Structure 1
Amino acid sequence: MAHKNLLICLTVVISVALTAGSAAAQDDGLPKSLAEAVKMEAADALPRTALYDAPKSLAASKPGALLKHEAFDGYDLPKGARAVRILYHSQNDRGRDVATSAVVLIPAGTAPAGGWPVIAWAHGTSGVARQCAPSLMKDLYYGEEGLMPMVRAGYAVVATDYHGLGTDGGHQYIDKPAQTNDVVFSIPAARKAVPELGARWVVDGHSQGGLAAWGVAELEARRHDAGYLGAVAVAPGVGLKSLSQHLADPGAASFYLDYFAYAIGHMSPGFKPSDMLTGQALARYHDVTTKGCWDYAYASYLGDTTPPKLKPGWDETPAAKRLFTTDAAGEAPLGGPLFVIAGEQDHSVPLFAVRETVAKACKAGATLNFRVYPGLDHDPTMDKSTPDQLAWIADRFAGKAAGNDCPAAAK
């Protein structure tokens, strides 16, 4: 499920903003038809329980409050590990109170003195429909791609679904403030549900979640949470405007046009899909955003050689500009260390976009670590860099200084 590195061999590389898994077209893990995609998603799906139903009002609680929790044994976890699902009080990008679901993964064995060290996990694109919550998938969407190694390494993982995935209310796709809030407010709620969690934590995110992790680093410059130690942003979805310009080429990756229109519409409710999309992209919009998740969306465009047309000037509309501005990174101060990771051959979030954002942050006075992995595409970057992520995280919990790669990165 998580290994979907989509490399479409076209005269123009199709670059996409935020996927937990773009994959090589020949990858056997990808669906070969829409019918196969439906079967794959059904085989991995878990039934939604009453936990995901929000209270009628959140007025009696504050952001970070635990609303519900339940132990759950239906995931594919490392031996001895266990899981607790939670529903908690969060906020959207405009500060409106919302309910968000998450799962807390607890390692095997007994918690160390001071409690389990915590990684707040921010996932990449799983879809935009309610059923696309990773906590409603047997493999939690990422499985062995970074996620389970974190648990085996002795970290409790608090993995938010993001509001609107699992819960009702609509997912604010690639909305940095909304996903940042979902990550930050998941931590105190998880501690209420699982008291053996420690006070100290880091955030680690990939793609859409990499942007959220960067957002947490920016937010912590203002919040100053006592237990926060730093952020890891793997292939963060930055440079959305430049990335979106490649999406109108024919190929399976064209479904991201539908996801982008969905994101803009949820951020600016007056924006309609027809303000951006025409042709097959508009015709498929409803199905792609409601009937399935990543596999379904990918398979919906298989074999399509007709370039989806975009309405001229859509990216200059106030709604589109709001998305690009809201999701900008590298301009705000950072709270604590930041480790940015990029793949040299990433065809979803190209290296130039990450490098430009890192350079911008460095010139603005940030202190960060930056590493490029030669020859790696989007998901392999997450997978192959996991040992380095865990080593960097271990150093933060050990109190070691993170150093600064900005003198070289800012050039």
Structure 2
Amino acid sequence: MARYAGPKLLLLATAAMGLGLANSHQASNFDVPTEVAESHSCDAICQQIIAQMNVLDLGTFGTNFDFDFYATAANFSESKPGDLLKLLPLSNSSAISNAPEGVSVYKFQYTSAAVDGAPVPVTGLIALPPATNNSRSNLVAFAHGTTGLYRGCAPSTYTQLFNDDGWPRAVAAGYAVVVSDFAGLGNNFTEHLYLSKAQANDVYYSVLASQKAFPQRLSHKWVSLGHSQGGGAIWQLSEHKLVQDANSGYLGGVAVAPPTKLSDQFQSALRNLQSNSSTADQIQTFLTTIPPTTLGLQRYFPSDYDAPLLTEKTKQRIELAGIGQLCLYALGGLMLDLTPNDVFVNLNNTDDSQMQKFQALNSPAQGDLAGKPLLVIHGSADILVSPESSKASFDASCGYGNILHRTVYEGRDHGSVLRDSSIEWIQFIADRFAGRDFGSTCTESVMGGTEL
């Protein structure tokens, strides 16, 4: 079900580039003219919020997008999933100014597979630790959290790549790391299908392509690690048919704060609104997830998803995301001045059959085999992805006979849990490469969390 950039998307992108372009290399978070914003139910307060959030996003993604590199490679049409298309060293880039000494970083483009198996170009990063005695470096594939849904929101465009709390810690521990941007981010041959199984494909094929880029440097065996959206992708990957084969080299994965079952979590949040049991922070956080979730479903079901639970005002606001090519903060910012009654048609109406169908088609823990070790980590104070949701998926997967371990970090929220659990997940990675036993039963534990 690859959805390619059709005329409507191209028109939106073209319009966005002409609206508030201050730099010819800017690819995201464009200013939207007042009249356009107002025609999309975005008043002065809404516009002020978006302007403030754009500053935050551009501080992360910058205004120096390399359009030539992110353009689809000329040899893509002749490629197959796992093929390397482009490789670009970042030796003189300010984006790696705080990289550990001796670490080499490359951008690369490779071919992945969409949810329907069609080839798609994807971009990402490869980071290599200092070489020692011509030995191979053990490889970790990192899956990133939500950054946005448009081409300018790719992690490989970060102004400071090593500010991430995840994969740089693996590099510092001596591992080579490959980071997929995910299809639709960076390269825009196709749209980004948010929270779909496509991201598991992107992780898997990033490994094959990176091994082709550095056949003498990277190990055949590999471990995966993901946070938030990427944590969900790693759980999906653990059930991927291709990694059940011993020849894949896959040793296991870590899913940190993973969203697993979209519809179930959405329904739970709506029930909390109905019962007035949500805090103000929980309500605001939930509402900021509405734009990416809605856009993801519209892209997955392009002809028959009309967001039945949302008001026209909310739908109009969400359309601004495409016009302005908004990344993470501005995307969520579209909802920051709204109440639940502004956003939803009727809080007592929670039926969204297409969201349920999306969950059935894309969510893990529905009976598939996860033949390699999977460590699930969650913060007890996570109000973005509830700990109860990962617990339910953990119990379900264990019930199907899979072997998982789940650790809850007391007092840690959605962001801090990745950093504060790093001792555990780095040890998990080391154990997998050392061939240590993971156990034969599902286990759970609670920890306080210590920063590495």
The TM-score bracket by the shorter chain reads 0.7 to 0.9
- 1:368 partnered with 2:404: yes
Counterpart of 2:436 (choices 391, 400, 406) is 400
Which structure 2 residues correspond to residues 207-246 of structure 1 after superposition, within 5 A?
207-219=228-240, 220=242, 222-245=244-267, 246=269
Is the 8 Å Cα contact of residues 342 and 371 (structure 1) preserved in structure 2? yes
- When residues 81 and 403 of structure 1 are mapped into structure 2, their CA distance, relative to the original with a 3 A threshold, is same
Is the 8 Å Cα contact of residues 252 and 304 (structure 1) preserved in structure 2? no
- 1:268 partnered with 2:290: no
Counterpart of 2:357 (choices 322, 331, 335) is 322
Which residue in the other structure is 1:308 paired with? 342
| TM-score when normalising by structure 1 | 0.84
Any gaps of 5 or more consecutive residues in structure 2?
1-47, 274-282, 446-452
- When residues 408 and 291 of structure 1 are mapped into structure 2, their CA distance, relative to the original with a 3 A threshold, is closer
Which residue in the other structure is 2:368 paired with? 332
Letter paired with 2:284: G
Give the Å deviation of 1:348. 1.2
Letter paired with 2:311: T
Counterpart of 2:385 (choices 343, 349, 352) is 349
- When residues 57 and 151 of structure 1 are mapped into structure 2, their CA distance, relative to the original with a 3 A threshold, is closer
- 1:50 partnered with 2:71: no
- 1:167 partnered with 2:167: no
Which residue in the other structure is 1:25 paired with? none
Which residue in the other structure is 2:175 paired with? 155
- 1:123 partnered with 2:149: no
Which residue in the other structure is 1:39 paired with? 55
| TM-score when normalising by structure 2 | 0.77
Distance 2:432 2:296 in 1: 34
- 1:280 partnered with 2:301: no
RMSD: 2.4
What SS does structure 1 have at the residue aligned with 2:343?
Answer: coil
Runs of 4 or more off by more than 6 Å in structure 1? Answer: none
- When residues 405 and 223 of structure 1 are mapped into structure 2, their CA distance, relative to the original with a 3 A threshold, is closer
- 1:82 partnered with 2:133: no
Is the 8 Å Cα contact of residues 133 and 161 (structure 1) preserved in structure 2? yes
What SS does structure 1 have at the residue aligned with 2:239?
Answer: helix
Counterpart of 2:153 (choices 118, 129, 132) is 132
Letter paired with 1:135: S
Give the Å deviation of 1:174. 0.5
Is the 8 Å Cα contact of residues 368 and 406 (structure 1) preserved in structure 2? yes
Is the 8 Å Cα contact of residues 179 and 212 (structure 1) preserved in structure 2? yes
Is the 8 Å Cα contact of residues 277 and 310 (structure 1) preserved in structure 2? yes
Give the Å deviation of 1:179. 0.4
Give the Å deviation of 1:275. 4.1
Which residue in the other structure is 2:28 paired with? none
Quote the sequence identity (%). Answer: 29
What SS does structure 1 have at the residue aligned with 2:406?
Answer: strand
Letter paired with 2:357: R
Give the Å deviation of 1:139. 2.9
Letter paired with 2:149: V
- When residues 311 and 304 of structure 1 are mapped into structure 2, their CA distance, relative to the original with a 3 A threshold, is closer
Rg larger in 1 or in 2? 2
Give the Å deviation of 1:146. 2.1
- When residues 407 and 68 of structure 1 are mapped into structure 2, their CA distance, relative to the original with a 3 A threshold, is closer
Distance 2:303 2:132 in 1: 49
Could you say which structure has the greater relative contact order, defined with CA pairs below 8 angstroms and 6 or more residues apart? 1
Counterpart of 1:295 (choices 329, 334, 339) is 329
Give the Å deviation of 1:59. 4.1
What SS does structure 2 have at the residue aligned with 1:308?
Answer: helix
- When residues 272 and 155 of structure 1 are mapped into structure 2, their CA distance, relative to the original with a 3 A threshold, is same
Letter paired with 1:157: V
Is the 8 Å Cα contact of residues 113 and 119 (structure 2) preserved in structure 1? yes
Distance 1:148 1:103 in 2: 12
Is the 8 Å Cα contact of residues 95 and 158 (structure 2) preserved in structure 1? yes
State the Cα deviation string for residues 30-70 of structure 1 (Å, max 9, x = none).
Answer: xx943232222223324123221114674422110001111
State the Cα deviation string for residues 156-199 of structure 1 (Å, max 9, x = none).
Answer: 11000000000112101000x20010000001111222331221
Which residue in the other structure is 1:189 paired with? 209
Which residue in the other structure is 2:81 paired with? 63
Higher percent of residues as helix: 2
Distance 1:348 1:396 in 2: 30
Distance 2:342 2:222 in 1: 43
- Aligned residue pair count: 374
Give the Å deviation of 1:405. 4.9
- When residues 49 and 70 of structure 1 are mapped into structure 2, their CA distance, relative to the original with a 3 A threshold, is farther
Distance 2:298 2:133 in 1: 46
